[in-house]
Amino acid sequence: MSRLASAVIGLSIVLSFAAAEPAPAADGAAPAAARTTVSLPQGYRSWRHVKSMIIEPGHALAALVEGTHHVYANEQAMRGYAKRPFPDGAIIVFDLFATVKGDQAITDGPRKAVIVMQKDAKRFAATGGWGYEVFANGKPDAPQVRDGAREACHACHLAQKDRDFVFSDYRD
Ligand code: HEC
């Protein structure tokens, strides 16, 4: 199986926990959700819009992110798009919606997830300096990735190692 395909399967497993309550940690310490290191950014809808894309059924990423997504970048992330690598503090949001087709038009349906990358070279050293998280339905209290970012996310973003692990580009 290709690395891309296995990474997609890894992530769909992560996302299939979308409705689950945070489970207590095995050591009886903080609940698993409390261990997440990336939080849902506030106000990202007023950040710079980088690009949008519609992933249709059958696309290699469909199991993961079928629907329409809009990518937003904060100021630090815009510096990284201008000249990689991205500085600490950069946050990129992948805002994912169901796609609704009708009357010869395609529009956004309900929000499916808010997907986040946050740069902190020290904190996230194990995953190229990036923290990764998925907030199902855009709800801040249900992070899906927690400590699974290396397999669920970074394994695929590794393909962009020479571009600081970021696939997208900004266009004026
Ligand atoms: C199988 C490959 C794959 C996996 C797994 C994957 N991504 Fe991505 N990701 C992509 C691709 C391809 C894009 C570019 C989409 C575009 O150009 O609009 C992307 C874009 C992004 C972006 C926008 C910044 C960028 O790199 O362009 C964020 C944020 C993001 N992904 C977060 C995540 C998170 C969090 C996970 C894990 C839960 C994850 N990704 C797992 C392939 C993947």
pLDDT 10s digits, 18-51: 434 444 444 444 444 444 589 999 999 999 999 9
Nearest-CA residue for atom 22 of ligand 1: 94
| pTM confidence score | 0.87
Least confident range from 31-40, 74-83, 112-121, 134-143: namely 31-40
Mean pLDDT of 155-172: 97
pLDDT averaged over every residue in the chain: 86
- Which atom of ligand 1 sits closest to the CA of residue 165? 26
The verdict on the CB of residue 65 being under 6 Å from ligand 1 is no
CB 53 near ligand 1, within 6 Å = yes
Cα(136) to centroid(ligand 1), Å: 15
The topology (CATH level 3) of 3-19+35-163 is Chalcone isomerase (3.50.70)
Which residues, other chains included, contact 109 with Cβ-Cβ below 8 Å and sequence gap of 6+? Answer: 67, 97, 98, 99, 100
For ligand 1, say whether the CB of 3 is within 6 Å of any of its atoms.
no
Peptide bond into 85 cis (omega under 30): yes
Give per-residue burial for 62-81: e unless 16+ CB within 10 Å, then b: eebbbbbbbbbbbebbbbbb
- Please work out whether the CB of residue 77 comes within 6 Å of at least one atom of ligand 1: no
In this predicted model, what pLDDT tens digit does every residue of 36-91 receive, in sequence order?
Answer: 589 999 999 999 999 999 999 999 999 999 999 999 999 999 999 999 999 999 99
Give residue 11's pLDDT: 54
